[in-house]
């Protein structure tokens, strides 16, 4: 299993950053290769991706949700294996550090080669940069504030 950890500081309050991140349907607007995320219920989402020409569909389950602090997930099923966390750290009233950690099990020759070339690292770093531009340009989250408590 390969692991990548990246972080970025955004000039937006933690509440707004968390609320935006918890709006999974907006991910295609800043995550390269994510074509669609459909929220199925409070804990489950269905993803459609196309990365390096490889199309995938898979489901995820939110395994931990701490408002304004953390979102953690894992894939369900057999087709794609990954887990991840996003931690939100306030750096003052209007600044937040976003730290993403993902563990991914590459399958097949193409994914294993991409992993060895560091493509996941670059993908996560790029997605965080695009998220920073997205949230700073917008200034406010687009979705409703999720209910507090675990996922």
User: What element of type H or E holds 134?
Assistant: helix 119-138
| The pLDDT of residue 147 | 40
Beta-bridge partners for 4: 102
How far apart CA 102 and CA 106 sit, in angstroms, is 12
Question: Over its length of 151 residues, how does the chain's per-residue pLDDT go in tens digits?
Answer: 788 899 999 999 999 999 999 999 999 999 998 999 999 999 999 999 887 677 889 999 999 999 999 999 999 987 778 899 999 999 999 999 999 999 887 777 766 777 677 677 888 899 999 999 999 998 655 544 444 333 3
| The pLDDT of residue 140 | 58
| The pLDDT of residue 142 | 52
How far apart CA 55 and CA 1 sit, in angstroms, is 20
| The pLDDT of residue 103 | 87
The dihedral sign for the CA sequence 25, 26, 29, 32: negative
Each domain of the chain, given as residue ranges in start order, spans: 2-138
Looking at CATH, the fold of the domain delimited by 2-138 is given as Alpha-D-Glucose-1,6-Bisphosphate; Chain A, domain 4 (3.30.530)
| The pLDDT of residue 146 | 41
DSSP type of residue 144: P
Full DSSP string of 47-96: EEEEETTEEEEEEEEEEEEETTTEEEEEEESSS-EEEEEEEEEE-STT-E
Give the angle subtended at the CA of 24 by the CAs of 40 and 89, to the nearest 5°.
130
């Amino acid at each position: 299993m390969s692991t990548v950890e990246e972080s970025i500081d955004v000039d937006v309050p933690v509440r707004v950053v968390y609320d935006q991140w918890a709006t999974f349907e907006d991910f295609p607007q800043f995550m390269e290769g994510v074509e669609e995320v459909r929220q199925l219920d409070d804990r489950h989402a269905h993803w459609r991706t196309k990365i390096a020409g490889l199309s995938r569909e898979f489901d995820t389950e939110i395994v931990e949700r701490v408002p304004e602090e953390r979102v953690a997930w894992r894939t369900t099923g057999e087709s794609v294996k990954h887990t991840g966390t996003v931690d939100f750290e306030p750096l003052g009233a209007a600044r937040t550090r976003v730290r993403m950690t993902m563990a991914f099990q590459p399958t097949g020759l193409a994914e294993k080669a991409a992993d060895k070339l560091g493509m996941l690292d670059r993908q996560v770093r790029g997605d965080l940069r695009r998220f920073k531009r997205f949230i700073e340009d917008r200034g406010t989250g687009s979705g409703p504030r999720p209910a507090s408590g675990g996922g």
